[in-house]
Structure 1
Amino acid sequence: MGSAKQQTAMTRVMHILQEWDKGSKVVRQKILQDFISQNQNKTGPELEQEFAHAASLFLTRLTAWLRLTYMIGTSLNEQLRAISIFLSAASGHKFMVEFLEVGGVLTLLEIIGLKQAQEKNKTVALSCLHHIANAGCKYKELICESYGIRAVAECLAKSKSEETQDACRNLLLMLAQGNPKFEMQVYKGLIALLPCSSPKAQQMAAHALRIVQPIVKQANVNLIDPLLNLLKTLHLEVQFEAIELIKELMNYDVRELLLKGLVTLLRPSKEDTISRPEILDDPNVTTINAPLPVFVQQAAAAKTIGILARESTELAEMLIQARVVHNLLYAMGNQDYADSQRQASITLEYFCSTFPMVDDHVRVAMGETLYDLFMSCPDSLYVHMNHIQADVLVSNKVNIPNLIEVIN
């Protein structure tokens, strides 16, 4: 009885394979759709049983057709979903080995880099790569050795689909974990994403860096400039991730450089404040009232400094040594952007209430009238100030000699 059942299964499988070999694109697509609907979440042994121990013959045909047609997109989604079933099958390691032996990783990486490939197909290809990486360290290394880190990072930067970007981010995180040979390369790849033009990619890269940073155990100084530049963004979710990453980096030896950089941002150069993007002056473009990026960055720096100072007295003292009080007063007098004034005022009020020496110097610099107004309503001082008082703040000469030790 068992032999008859096995013979029936073998006959059915041979019929499917013959139909595949002789079939048109439409016939093959129908075979793939049936396979996908009937074999989701099956184990390797279950797939073998389904194909009368000839599942590899179907996989071979599938991978061969993929390599021949992936650039033109023929039934690409169905092919990738079917391959994903084989790669994700528990106890189906042999299928993964067979796929890798015919250059499967390179094919998947090429698919996610194709301009003409649909986003949904890139997402499935990334899922296949995720299954491969999930098989262990040597498989992660194989992806990395095939220039996978660069390919996935570029896909994340260029993709217009949040689902695809999320799949890229998750794969990069997987490649960074339990993969000591390439963890630093993933880290550098994430840093390279920070200046990209996609806010979503910037947010994901900054978030991923917060996870990868403790893995690599040392901070790269090349991270500082692109990270501080993220503070120019009008996208609050990107700014949030940037600030959280800055907080994480306070545990590493780049913290002095970061603190000094934040203090410097409070006082933008004249060139930065004069220069405007050309699009803002284009008469054919609708008027844009957005603030200059440098002023957005100034406000974000003041906000970040306040967060860091409240979290650690040591950091607050280091900021004072970096002349933060002098530059906060300058930012408070910046009447080009109200949020810069507000954030700087709130942060300075914390320094005044925490450090008596700072409070004394600020009182002298402001004068009694402005100082009393400042202490009574720091978050709305900018509304009540006149131009003369703003000029006083901008031209302040506050210096705290007992605390000043310029950070080298």
Structure 2
Amino acid sequence: MTSVKEQEAIRKLMVFLQEWDSAHRVARSRILDNFIQSNDGKTQPELELEFSQGASLFLARLTTWLRMTYIYSTCLNKLLRSIGIFLSATKGHGYLTEFLDIGGVLILLEILGLNHLKEEDKRESVKLLQLVADAGRKYKELICDSYGVQSLAEFLATSNSAEAQKDVQVLLASLGRDNPKYQNQVYNGLIAVLPCTSPQAQQLALQALRVMQ
């Protein structure tokens, strides 16, 4: 039997999830603000404690809303940052698996190619892709299998944000390291950036190429 304390924690979780389910955009934005403020940097056990062992129920709602709304930029930055809390959580591999199962990598890459979205949203997308790549070789291969190198190289060449371009350079360098199946693809992707009109992108691509040689 569950204790009174456990029952109360479960009740609070259900109330929270019902609040999310019934909330409109403004209310959800406020919920995301509170979530980010309260949970940034937490480990998987800490998140599960916060959500009475039901953190995945909230992550599922976040990923569903992302899949439905990313094209429209609805609270996109806050939504990506919230998902990032799960993906960056120590011992949170299960969260990563859940995110990938809904096609998370493809969504993140598509965000990079949508011209109407903000640079800061695209940068947040790159950060999440970096978290995926950091999980190991098979995850780097998943990004590359999803035409990730091409998408990232194009974003590096066209982005107006120096910070975002630097993040992309780091990610491409990561994809080219300990990933022999796709090393040449990453190399060629960086080469393709060199004729672009952005001096910053050209410099970053050259730096990454030197490291790979």
Residue of structure 1 in register with 2:55 after alignment: 55
Moved runs in structure 1, 4+ residues, more than 6 A? none
1:33 aligns with 2:33: yes
Q: Report deviation, 1:168.
A: 0.6
Pairwise CA distance, 1:45: 1.2
What amino acid sits opposite 1:208 in the alignment? A
Pairwise CA RMSD:
0.9
- For residues 313-349 of structure 1, the C-alpha deviation after alignment (integer angstroms, 9 at most, x for no partner) is xxxxxxxxxxxxxxxxxxxxxxxxxxxxxxxxxxxxx
Name the % identity: 54
- 1:162 is matched with 162
Q: CA deviation digits over 1:149-174, x for unaligned, max 9? A: 00011010000000110111010001
Q: Distance in 1 between matches of 2:6 and 2:79?
A: 27
Q: Structure 2 length as normaliser, TM-score? A: 0.98
Count, aligned residues: 212
1:173 is paired with a residue of what secondary structure?
Answer: helix
- Distance across 2 between alignment mates of 1:136 and 1:4: 42
* Partner Cα separation in structure 2 for residue 208 and residue 144 of structure 1: 17
- Residue in 1 aligned with 2:104? 104
**Residue correspondence of structure 1 range 67-82 to structure 2 within 5 A:** 67-82=67-82
Post-superposition CA distance 1:353-377 (Å, at most 9, x none): xxxxxxxxxxxxxxxxxxxxxxxxx
Residues 283-317 of structure 1 show CA distances to partners (whole Å, capped at 9, x for unaligned) of: xxxxxxxxxxxxxxxxxxxxxxxxxxxxxxxxxxx
- The Cα shift of 1:9 comes to 1.8
Q: Which one scores higher on RCO, CA 8 angstroms, separation ≥ 6?
A: 2
Once residues 132 and 169 of structure 2 are traced to their aligned partners in structure 1, the CA distance between those partners, rounded to angstroms, is: 16
Question: Structure 1: any 5+ residue segments left out of the alignment?
Answer: 214-408
Query: Please, what TM-score do these two structures have when normalized by structure 1?
Result: 0.51
Q: Write out aligned runs for 1:12-23 (5 A).
A: 12-23=12-23
Structure 2 CA distance for aligned equivalents of residues 139 and 133 of structure 1: 5
Match for residue 307 of structure 1?
none
- CA deviation after TM superposition for structure 1 residue 82, in Å: 0.3
2:150 is the alignment partner of 1:134: no
Q: Which amino acid counterpart does residue 152 of structure 1 have in structure 2?
A: L
Distance 1:173 1:192 in 2: 15
Q: Measure how far apart 1:112 and its partner are.
A: 1.3
What residue in structure 1 maps to residue 90 of structure 2?
A: 90
Deviation at 1:27, TM superposition (A): 1.0
Aligned match of 1:341: none
Unaligned stretches of 5+ in structure 2? none
